[in-house]
Amino acid sequence: MSLLILDTDPGVDDALALLYLRARNQQKWPDLKLLAITTVFGNADVETTTRNALWLRARLGLSAPVYRGAAEPLTRPRGLSPKHVHGENGLGDLDLSGAPLSPAGSGAAHERIIDLVRARPREITIVAIGPLTNLALALRAAPDVAGLVAGVTIMGGAFAAGNVTPFAEANIHNDPEAAAEVLAAPWPVTLVPLDATMSCVLTNAKAGELAQQGEAGRFAHDITRGYAKAYERLDGCVLHDVAALVSLTRPELFETRVAPVSVATSGERLGQTAWGEDGPAVSVRLRADGAALARHFRETVA
Ligand code: BDR
Ligand code: CA
């Protein structure tokens, strides 16, 4: 059983990651336990991603508290929200009306990350599926956390081709300085880049089948309809953030290379990840069996 903090910018595929987590925390597969959800800007501003996290918590019946995190990158202004991918409300323009939401927990996300990790030394894995600002702030405020986590798993990076520029992936490009600090820190990092995630597709046909298979399947179908349009050429949508969690539960679905990784923090390659000369070794999930991963996702949530 892995104890997790999910650092997230919901986000449609972030919502699918929470749906997957919920299933992996049930009696049938008690392998992931969510301790806290920490939010960050990214797919929308942080007010919106925090509201979305609170909405998902209520909608999915999760008990983990939500803590609001960084509104801005470490050193540069925040970029525009990708409304063409995640909708005006960040959750595929799903209707978010309904029961009133409980408030976010007190304290900043990076402070709560520090407290949780110090309280359970070497037990907690941080799974980061948004920009890495909260993780960098935690390291700056408490460098000891690097030695106290069980691991850090990150959806981010691109070695072959980016998605927001020809070179860079969105989570790294949104705060390249934070990513550089996180990848240079002495903690055990697993990186799940686009090179692996782009093959992990929930096809429209399979989403249609899921919609007939109960509450969770209908939710996965409904929330991905707008997002799938942004991935029209794939006839489906990419399970980026789900892949980060599956790299914990089904590591055999990935090919992994272990080497230092650098991040470009200036120039036209801003946010690009590349093999580094020195620094801590990172486990990079370079390729995935995307068909098996997508099937595993559907079977788990259905
Ligand atoms: C990543 O960026 C966000 O848009 C997604 O939620 C995912 O975390 C993919 O590049
Ligand atoms: Ca995300």
Mean pLDDT to the nearest integer, 206-213: 96
Max CA pair span of the chain: 52
**203 within a domain of the structure (yes/no):** no
Select from 43, 41, 45, 48 the least CA-distant residue to 16: 43
Range of the domain at 155: 2-198+240-285
Three-state SS sequence of 188-231: CEEEECHHHHCCCEEEHHHHHHHHCCCHHHHHHHHHCHHHHHHC
Whether the predicted pLDDT of 99 surpasses 80:
no
Compute the half-sphere exposure of residue 44: CA atoms within 13 Å on the CB side of its CA. 24
**72 within a domain of the structure (yes/no):** yes
Mean pLDDT to the nearest integer, 101-126: 97
Instruction: Considering only residues 129 and 30, tell me which one the structure prediction assigns the higher pLDDT.
Output: 129
Q: In this predicted structure, which of 8-17, 85-94, 197-206 has the lowest mean pLDDT?
A: 85-94
- Of all residues in the chain, the percent with pLDDT exceeding 70 is 100
Compute the half-sphere exposure of residue 153: CA atoms within 13 Å on the CB side of its CA. 22
Cα-to-centroid distance, 83 and ligand 1 (Å): 12
**86 within a domain of the structure (yes/no):** yes
Q: Give the pLDDT band of residue 137 (cuts 50, 70, 90).
A: very high
Q: Which position among 86, 110, 240, 296 bears the catalytic label?
A: 240
Mean pLDDT to the nearest integer, 111-119: 98
Q: Give the pLDDT band of residue 287 (cuts 50, 70, 90).
A: very high
Q: In this predicted structure, which of 27-41, 113-127, 174-188, 241-255 has the lowest mean pLDDT?
A: 27-41
Whether the predicted pLDDT of 196 surpasses 90:
yes
Mean pLDDT to the nearest integer, 90-100: 88
CB atoms inside a 10 Å sphere around CB 281: 13
pLDDT of residue 52: 97
Q: Give the pLDDT band of residue 86 (cuts 50, 70, 90).
A: confident
Q: Is 7 in the pocket of ligand 1 (CB under 6 A)?
A: no
Mean pLDDT to the nearest integer, 174-193: 98
**262 within a domain of the structure (yes/no):** yes
Cα-to-centroid distance, 171 and ligand 1 (Å): 6
pLDDT of residue 80: 85
Ligand 1 nearest atom to the CA of residue 169, by list position: 10
Mutate to test the pocket of ligand 1, among 6, 7, 8, 9 (most ligand atoms within 8 A of CB): 9
Cα-to-centroid distance, 95 and ligand 1 (Å): 21
Say whether 45 is catalytic: no
Mean pLDDT to the nearest integer, 70-77: 97
**161 within a domain of the structure (yes/no):** yes
pLDDT of residue 234: 84
Q: Which are the contacts of 297, defined by CB distance < 8 A and separation ≥ 6?
A: 16, 20, 200, 202, 239, 242, 246
Mutate to test the pocket of ligand 1, among 18, 85, 91, 129 (most ligand atoms within 8 A of CB): 129
Q: Is 10 in the pocket of ligand 1 (CB under 6 A)?
A: no
- What does each C-alpha distance from 62 to 13, 41, 157, 223 come to in angstroms? 17, 21, 29, 18
Q: How many domains does the chain have?
A: 1
Ligand 1 nearest atom to the CA of residue 163, by list position: 10
Say whether 240 is catalytic: yes
Instruction: Considering only residues 30 and 118, tell me which one the structure prediction assigns the higher pLDDT.
Output: 118
Q: How far apart are CA 29 and CA 127, in angstroms?
A: 18
Q: Is 14 in the pocket of ligand 1 (CB under 6 A)?
A: yes
Partners of 262 in the beta sheet? 274
Ligand 1 nearest atom to the CA of residue 82, by list position: 4
Mean pLDDT to the nearest integer, 187-203: 98
CATH code where residue 104 lies: 3.90.245.10
Cα-to-centroid distance, 103 and ligand 1 (Å): 25
Q: Give the pLDDT band of residue 38 (cuts 50, 70, 90).
A: very high
Q: Is 13 in the pocket of ligand 1 (CB under 6 A)?
A: yes
Q: Is 11 in the pocket of ligand 1 (CB under 6 A)?
A: yes
**31 within a domain of the structure (yes/no):** yes
Ligand 1 nearest atom to the CA of residue 164, by list position: 10
For residue 267, give the DSSP letter. Answer: S
Mean pLDDT to the nearest integer, 161-171: 97
pLDDT of residue 82: 86
Mean per-residue pLDDT of the chain = 95
Q: Give the pLDDT band of residue 228 (cuts 50, 70, 90).
A: confident
**211 within a domain of the structure (yes/no):** no
Mean pLDDT to the nearest integer, 147-170: 98
**17 within a domain of the structure (yes/no):** yes
Whether the predicted pLDDT of 222 surpasses 80:
yes
Q: Which are the contacts of 48, defined by CB distance < 8 A and separation ≥ 6?
A: 81, 89, 90
